[in-house]
Amino acid sequence: ADMPVVITLLNSYSGWALCAEGFILNQPLLTVVGALIGSSGAFLTKIMCDGMNRSLVNVIMGGFGTEAGAVQTAEGLVHTEINVDDTAALLRDAQKVCIVPGYGLAVAQAQNDIAAVANSLREQGKEVKFAVHPVAGRMPGQLNVLLAEAGVPYDMVYEMEEVNEEMENFDVVLVVGANDTVNSSAVNDPKSAIAGMPVIEVWRAKHVVVMKRSVASGYAGVDNPVFYNDNTDMLLGSATETCQGLRNAV
């Protein structure tokens, strides 16, 4: 989530530069437009930093000397794998489903397949909700835009806080390409590198299915204990193929 913060910060800088140019050239319109761009970028940067419970300095400087995506599997822990057909069966048997998209969904461009899965479940009488973390993806609002492009109605997309309040009521939570934003270490491990970061607490649901290419850690380089919970199954493989298979199976 550091990259979106950097983007909004640079966007803010460009606005203030435009504002200064307006002062120099005595162009009030440039000054006003620059001030709007600069202030909106600054506000968005602050909101996203709050979403990660980190300071701006920590976001800018915290990535130096670290490796992204390092596999840090705790010794002795074993994850449980599931296939596409069994995942589809879980979704068909569920009455209330939550879908949590992440950066992996954007990389695979699988938003249309996931949207089709959600629509199919709704036609079957299921209650389906999308939960989007405020810093999911690599650009601000990237997941919201992708879901909108895929035709997902706005009333199906919920903020992190709204979904966390009713997480225990979901029969199945389908995590698609998300990792750090659903990491229980942020809540349960005060010594974790992401301790205190607000996350979507998927582990509190009745059943969790995580769709990822592998069990490797995310950008933060922190292993995710959710992968090894008794109520979690891992659907590993390319999101493009698994999402298409899930679409056909559901």
pLDDT tens track for 39-83 = 998 888 887 777 666 777 777 776 544 444 444 455 557 889 999
pLDDT tens by residue, 86-101: 999 999 999 999 999 9
- Whole-angstrom distance, CA of residue 179 vs CA of residue 245: 22
Mean pLDDT by 10 residues, the chain (250 residues): 76 93 92 94 82 73 49 64 94 95 88 94 94 79 87 91 94 92 87 82 95 74 86 90 91
- Asked if 219 is an active-site residue, the reply is yes
H or E stretch covering 67 = none
The predicted structure's pLDDT at residue 69:
42
Q: How many CA atoms lie within 13 A of 6 on its CB side?
A: 10
The predicted structure's pLDDT at residue 65:
43
In order of 87, 126, 193, 195, 217, the CA distances from 227 in angstroms are 16, 25, 18, 18, 10
Which residue is catalytic, options 92, 122, 138, 213? Answer: 138
- Whole-angstrom distance, CA of residue 235 vs CA of residue 19: 50
The predicted structure's pLDDT at residue 71:
43
Global pTM value: 0.77
At 225, which amino acid appears? P
Q: Are 84 and 113 in contact (CB under 8 A)?
A: no
- Whole-angstrom distance, CA of residue 167 vs CA of residue 169: 5
Locate the DSSP E strands across 39-165. 96-101, 127-132, 157-159
Which residue is catalytic, options 13, 122, 204, 219? Answer: 219
The predicted structure's pLDDT at residue 218:
64
- Asked if 103 is an active-site residue, the reply is yes
Q: Are 68 and 219 in contact (CB under 8 A)?
A: yes
